[in-house]
Amino acid sequence: GEDVEQSLFLSVREGDSSVINCTYTDSSSTYLYWYKQEPGAGLQLLTYIFSNMDMKQDQRLTVLLNKKDKHLSLRIADTQTGDSAIYFCAERGYSSASKIIFGSGTRLSIRP
Amino acid sequence: AAGVIQSPRHLIKEKRETATLKCYPIPRHDTVYWYQQGPGQDPQFLISFYEKMQSDKGSIPDRFSAQQFSDYHSELNMSSLELGDSALYFCASNSRDPRRNEQFFGPGTRLTVL
């Protein structure tokens, strides 16, 4: 069945780059997303990538997709204290009506 | 830009009571999804609607029902509430337009069952 896995925690020093990794199992996944959730808040869509792309860059965010290994990563350059949050990797099938399957989330903490 | 609106934002109920959560999708979005996020958990899909018809069903208990109305807003009805129903309930919407692939989430309704 569909499954999305992430490591639970990541701690980085302020100013360094953060890399959050994710693996998924559904080879029919067409859209792969990264959502950010701050404590007690909703889900903010950060970025997404089509499965036929290898990379997408958006300001400080870089998404890399290795479709062969079903591996997705989110790199945050120059990590700031405001980046502290839980980051969810998620995947969705081809149909725009498809539900989103979320990973367990990676809690990113920033050290001064 | 308009976002997904959910009401109420917070709700406190007692066991065995009923609750109704409302969702107003982004204008011109025709598909609505409901997700449940328990404490420390990832969001789990409950149910979705397209053009007022149920389009997919996930792990939604039989005690819950939902519908989408002609103005595309949706309501999630929860009966015989249990302590384990305490969670953050998200609504999301998107357009069927294949050029628009984002699924936008509302701020959520935090339901606490005492």
pLDDT in tens, A67-103: 889 999 999 999 999 999 999 999 887 766 678 899 9
pLDDT digits (tens, 9 = 90+) for B45-68: 999 998 889 988 998 999 999 999
CA-CA-CA-CA torsion for A65, A66, A72, A75, nearest 10 degrees? Answer: -60
- Please list every residue in chain A whose beta carbon sits closer than 8 Å to the beta carbon of residue B98: 96
**Token output for B65:** 């029902």
pLDDT digits (tens, 9 = 90+) for A6-54: 989 999 999 999 999 999 887 776 789 999 999 888 899 999 998 888 9
How far does A52 lie from chain B, in Å, by closest CA? 14
Does the distance separating the beta carbons of B42 and A102 come in below 8 Å? yes
Which residues fall within 8 angstroms of residue B13, CB to CB, at 6 or more apart?
B19, B81, B111, B112, B113, B114
Q: Mutating which of B34, B99, B103, B104 best tests the A interface, going by the most A Cβ atoms within 10 A?
A: B103
Secondary structure (3-state) at A100: strand
Q: Distance between CA B84 and CA A7 in Å, rounded?
A: 26
